[in-house]
Structures are given as C-alpha cells and as structure tokens.
Amino acid sequence: MFAKLARTGVLITSIAIAGCNDSSMKDFAPEANKPLPDKILADMKAKGMIRTSSVMARIFKEEGKLEIWKAKTNGRYDMVASYDICKWSGKLGPKYTEGDRQAPEGFYTVRPSQMNPRSNYHLSFNIGFPNAYDRANGRTGQNLMVHGACSSSGCYSMTDAQIEQIYAFGRDAFQGGQTEFQVEAFPFRMTAANMARYRNDPNYEFWKMLKVGYDNFEITKVPPKVDVCEKRYVFNQVAADGQTFDPTGPCPTTTQPDSLKSAYNAYQSTYDAAYNGALKASVPPPKPTIAGIKEASIVSDWSKRRARGERVPIDPPSLNNDGTVTETARMGRIDSPAGRKMAALDAEKAAKQKAEEQRLAAIEAAKQAKEAAKAQALAEKEAAKAAKEAPVATATIATPTEAAPAAETQAADAGEGTVAKLKNKLLGMFGG
C-alpha cells in the first residue's frame, strides 16, 4: 500500500513539475515558444516530414557539428538541419568523472522533463549523462547540456539563435507525442578513414563499440534500440522471453531480424575494404584525446581547485604520452565569490606569513648579535690571559751601590798604572 502511495506521489509530483514547466514556458520564456523558420518548415515538408514528427540529434566533436534528423512519413529519418557547434570542452574521448571538463560521448535520451526553458544559458536540455552505460562503468558527472550562450565546461554550447531552433525541434516532437528523443554523441564521423587514424588511441575500443550503433543507424536510418549489459552497449537486440538487460550482469540470449543481420554484414564488408585501404593512405594526424581516467582525474582535481578559488594554471593540465603532465605557466583565479574570498584569504595568509618571517628574522638577528658580542668578549678575555702568561725578556743592570765600588776600583787601577808609568820613565832618565 505504501509503495502504491509513493508511486502515486511521484506521479503527482511529475505532473506538477511538467505543469510548472509548461506554465513557465508560456509565461516567462517566450524564446522557448518561437516557431521554426518558414524555410525549415518548407524543407521538412519537401522531405515528407511534419512539424511534430519524431526527432533525434547527432553530434560530431571533431567536425564540430550538431545534426537534427526527423522522421519522414515512411518512418525513416532524414537530416533536416546541421549546426556548427559554438564550443565544446575537453578533448576527443568520453567523460570519465565529475570535473574532467569532457563533453560526453555515447547514446543518450532526452525527455520533456530535461528541457529547460529558463536556463542560465538562454535555453537548454540535459542530455541525460550519466546513462546506464556510464553508471555501470563508474563514470560520474551531472548537468551535461546542450545549451546556448556559447560557453562550455563539459557541455555542447550553441549560439542563442541556434539553440532556439534546436529546442523548437524537441518541443514540437514532444507536442506530437514523442516521449523521448535520442542524442548520439561521437568523437568524429566514424568512417573507415577516421577509424584508421585513431586505431592506436587508448579510446579506440570504446569507439569501436559506439561504431556499432553508428552503423546501425547508417543502415536503417532509424535510431537504434540501445541497451547495456556486461558494462557495454548493445544495439537492436531483442532479449529472449523472460530475460532482461542488466547493465552490470551477463547479457541475455538475444535475437535480431535476419534482414538487419544481412544488411549489417554487407555494410561491414564494404567498411573493412575501406579500412584496409585507409591504412595505406595518407591521412591527417589525430587530434588530442583524453588519456583515460588518469588524465580525467588530473583535470578533475584542477577543476576542484579552480572552483574553490585557488590560483591555478589558466588552462587545464594535460597528460603526455610519457606520463608527464603539462601545465601552462600563466596562473589565474576564477572571478567569482569563491575566487574573491580565496584571494582575500590568500592575501591575509601572505601578510601573516610576511609578518612571521619578519618576526623570525628579528629574533635571528638579535640572537646573532648576542652571539657575536659573547664571542668578542671571550676573544678579549683569551687575549688578556695569553698576554699575562707569556714569558718577558729582561737585562741585568747593576745597582748604584754595586756600581760604585767597581768604578772606584777601576779608577784606582787606572791611577796606579799612571804612577807606575811615570816612575819607570824617571828612572830611565836618571839611570835608576
């Protein structure tokens, strides 16, 4: 009983939301109700389409194209419009994790509740990432859109004039009874030449899987039935009675119409020949691609730091083939409340750090001065001690009392000698 009430509550809520959205479209978002141009309507009529017939979108990153296809009266689809994508972010390759700035690749579903007439980007619709395949493979992210304003951080961004028309195609199809439309997002047109160009890319196996769905549409011109089992996409397969597709479980027993099998085999035979020829041909070099979850995680960390307002390299980092990371030298900070708050905190932190450095420098200078004075005093003390202990060279000087007798003796001796000399002289003169 409770479960029934809960489901009823969800249903009532869904109806309320849908009503609110519808009311909002009429009351506050006139751009969401603009009719398609007369020229497009005339082209549709010439191709056997009506305004409210079913629709689908195809996206090609490398070529920068978003195509709108509509069902003709015979049930097959034909392209009715093609738009140059204004901006898409990231590189070729799927989205792996929140913040890696990758625009998704894969098969997605858009329902009326995903249409946003009051978008901050003029008009938008959520493409439905993560889908069953993404969730089964642990891929994360949210709010991945096709929108206007020509600004992208993981989305496919168009000009405002373009999104008004693209939005109108979806709106009209829903009014005609279509309950959901498919968005197929590819890295490039999955031709033999392009597949040969990217045959050594780490994303190649993923792209080969997408190509099966791509080929099914090329053959039938009808959006393929998409399921997920064993963590991989399967296309146009019908599960045996009583069996279902479990995204993470084993694939059920399936069947496929013989006519489709035959057509696919013929298509594949032609493709194989073209692929072998492309291997020998001169082709343009591949464009940059994301190097798996490792690079996605590096970019995601950069995005988180940027969102916090930290100073980071202007452009997202890139993982090189040798495992090194390339970052631009230019640094910057996002201009947002978070960025301004972080700038103020960084300035306060820098001021505190400078004050602390000055305080420590003053302490160190005082310490060094004290140690220098102590060393000088010690040096002077040692010098005095050394001077006191050193031996002094002296000469013996006779005292006056000792010198006098010596002088008198010397004088007496001198006198006696003189007298003797005179006596001897006189004796010689007088014959004595």
Residue 354, pLDDT score: 87
* Burial category of 395 from C-beta neighbours within 10 Å (exposed 0-12, middle 13-18, buried 19 and up): exposed
Torsion of CA 339, 296, 155, 231, to 10 degrees: -140
Q: What is the pLDDT of residues 275-306, one digit of tens each?
A: 999 999 988 999 999 999 999 999 999 999 99
Strands 145-147 and 156-157, how do they pair? parallel
Q: What is the pTM of this model?
A: 0.74
Residue appearing with tokens 């506050």: 28
pLDDT at position 1:
35
pLDDT range class, residue 29, cuts 50, 70, 90: confident
Please provide the average confidence, as pLDDT, over all residues in the chain.
86
Query: Which has more pLDDT, 176 or 12?
Result: 176
Percent of the chain with pLDDT strictly greater than 90:
69
Minimum mean pLDDT range among 22-36, 175-189, 265-279: 22-36
Q: Given pLDDT bands bounded at 50, 70 and 90, which one contains residue 338?
A: low
- Comparing 111 with 377, the larger pLDDT belongs to 111
| Residue 413, pLDDT score | 53
Residues in the chain: 432
Interval 124-181: pLDDT, tens: 999 999 999 999 999 999 999 999 999 877 799 999 999 999 999 999 999 999 999 9
How confident is the model over 350-385, as pLDDT tens digits? 788 888 999 999 999 999 999 899 988 888 888 888
Task: Write down the pLDDT at residue 23.
Answer: 32
Place of tokens 């009392």: 401
Per-residue model confidence (pLDDT) at position 311 = 92
Q: What is the pLDDT of residues 197-246, one digit of tens each?
A: 999 999 999 999 999 999 999 999 999 999 999 999 999 999 999 999 99
Residue 213 near residue 226, CB atoms below 8 Å: yes
**Is the distance from CB of 185 to CB of 108 less than 8 angstroms?**
yes
Residue 99 has pLDDT above 60, yes or no: yes
User: 432 Cβ partners below 8 Å, 6+ apart?
Assistant: 426
pLDDT surpassing 60 at residue 426? no
Show which residues are catalytic.
147, 155
pLDDT above 80 (res 96): yes
Domains recognised in the chain with CATH numbers: 30-279 (2.40.440.10), 291-369 (no CATH)
Q: How many CA atoms lie within 13 A of 427 on its CB side?
A: 7
Question: Is the confidence at residue 117, as pLDDT, over 70?
Answer: yes
Q: What are phi and psi of 125, to 5 degrees?
A: -145, 140
CA dihedral (229, 230, 232, 235) positive or negative: negative
Q: Rounded distance, CA 106 to CA 95, Å?
A: 9
Mean pLDDT computed over 396-406: 50
Q: What is the mean pLDDT of residues 340-346?
A: 69
Q: Is 118 within 8 Å of 28 (Cβ atoms)? A: yes
Of all residues in the chain, the percent with pLDDT exceeding 70 is 82
